[in-house]
Amino acid sequence: MFINLKKPEKLRRGDKLASVSLSWGGPALFPHRYQAGKKQLEDAFGVCVVEMPHTLSSAEFLHANPQARADDLMQAFSDPSIKGIISTIGGEDSIRLIPHIDLDVIARNPKVFLGYSDTTVTHFACLKAGIASFYGPAVMAGFGENGGLFPYMRDAVDRVLFQSDPIGALTPNTEGWTAEVLDWEDPYLQSQKRKLHPCTGWRFLQGTGRHQGHLIGGCIEVLDWLRGTPLWPDRSQWKGAVLFLETSEEAPAPQTVARILRAFAALGVLDEIHAILFGRPGGDIPPTQFRDYDRVLLDMVNNEVGRPDLPIVSGMDFGHTDPMLVLPYGFLCEIDCDQQTIIIPENAVLD
């Protein structure tokens, strides 16, 4: 089963984009970092980024006022002059917006919505409202990259959000990746590029032949929080899905990932999906330990769910390492395990 979501119009140079703080009040705590991300986004794509009424409010105010955060989101969706919405940064309590989100407002106003991490909550609100959204960089993390944007990320944003052609093949980053933390409190570090690890490609762990399904997923810890809420998709929406998962900068252990996957299995999710895409683990985890996550994926799928033919691809370039891909929710994804290719054969945005 494939779900049919409304596609937004593509972004164009000159468009006005809204930045929204849906969780943590990072822009007020680190204004130079926010301004760096805003400028790099505007310079790279020729857009104009505007703040909603509470985007720059203090972290204390935003934490105390989920209604205000939701109001900003609703205003951004409702304003016809705003062509796209970008999360400023993640956090840990977007889930508190759920009672204040008007799904009808989102449904009536399909437009590009971009972000990752805790923003997974808002992506699932878009999914519930029946519109496509996009898992990718935020203003402060991604567009705020130290020393300038990664070409891999910039090209992904351009191809998915600014072009109405089919997205086509997703290709691994080859220029090096990083999860290094440079102190955002020090403005002088903004111009210092982060150290890169060599890229080793994506790992096709199991599966044969070609498989396809619609993309659903996000940050695995946030998905765990969403279980049982009104935004959790019913079983029919998981049927035939390609589940994409990634772990946050808090670096949950492989055993934690296993427990969350076990809960997904109990809900029937792992029985319904057609494949798993797993991002490179986030946080301060040595690359030598990445295989521990592979073993957890294989053990859960093979030994606990009994699906040794389910395709699993790990080490992918999305989530809490940089640079990152942009993944469109609800769109068809084709995985060829024999050729080791991943293709999105349709356009994600309209002319």
CATH classification of the domain holding 121: 3.40.50.10740
For residue 87, the enclosing domain spans 16-165
Buried b / exposed e over 267-301, threshold 16 CB at 10 Å, is eebbebbbbbbbbbbbeebeeeebeebbebbbebb
Give the number of other Cβ atoms within 10 Å of residue 308's Cβ: 11
The DSSP annotation for 99-110 comes to GG--HHHHHHS-
Same domain, 272 and 339: yes
Same domain, 47 and 160: yes
Same domain, 32 and 120: yes
pLDDT in tens, the chain (351 residues): 467 899 999 999 999 999 999 999 999 999 999 999 999 999 999 999 999 999 999 999 999 999 999 999 999 999 999 999 999 999 999 999 999 999 999 999 999 999 999 999 999 999 999 999 999 999 999 999 999 999 999 999 999 999 999 999 999 999 999 999 999 999 999 999 999 999 999 999 999 999 999 999 999 999 999 999 999 999 999 999 999 999 999 999 999 999 999 999 999 999 999 999 999 999 989 999 999 999 999 999 999 999 999 999 999 999 999 999 999 999 999 999 999 999 999 999 999
Structural domain includes residue 81? yes
Structural domain includes residue 181? no
Q: Tell me: the pLDDT tens digits for 264-287?
A: 999 999 999 999 999 999 998 999
Same domain, 132 and 240: no
- pLDDT at residue 2, rounded to an integer: 60
Same domain, 122 and 247: no
- pLDDT at residue 140, rounded to an integer: 98
Give dist(CA 150, CA 163) in Å, integer: 19
The DSSP annotation for 292-339 comes to HHHHHHHHIIIIIS--TTS-EEEEES-SSSBS---EETT-EEEEETTT
Q: What is the DSSP letter of 342?
A: E
Structural domain includes residue 180? no
**Domain count along the chain:** 2
Domain boundary among 132, 165, 198: 165
Size of the chain in residues:
351
Structural domain includes residue 200? yes
Same domain, 232 and 280: yes
Same domain, 96 and 195: no
Structural domain includes residue 212? yes
Give dist(CA 59, CA 61) in Å, integer: 5
Structural domain includes residue 217? yes
Place of tokens 């019913």: 234
Same domain, 270 and 161: no
Structural domain includes residue 176? no
Residue in 51, 42, 52 with CA at minimum distance from that of residue 15: 42
- pLDDT at residue 1, rounded to an integer: 47
Alpha helices (H) in 273-333, listed in sequence order: 290-299
Structural domain includes residue 350? no
Beta strands 168-170 and 341-344, pairing class: antiparallel
Q: Read off the pTM.
A: 0.97
Same domain, 159 and 194: no
Same domain, 115 and 202: no
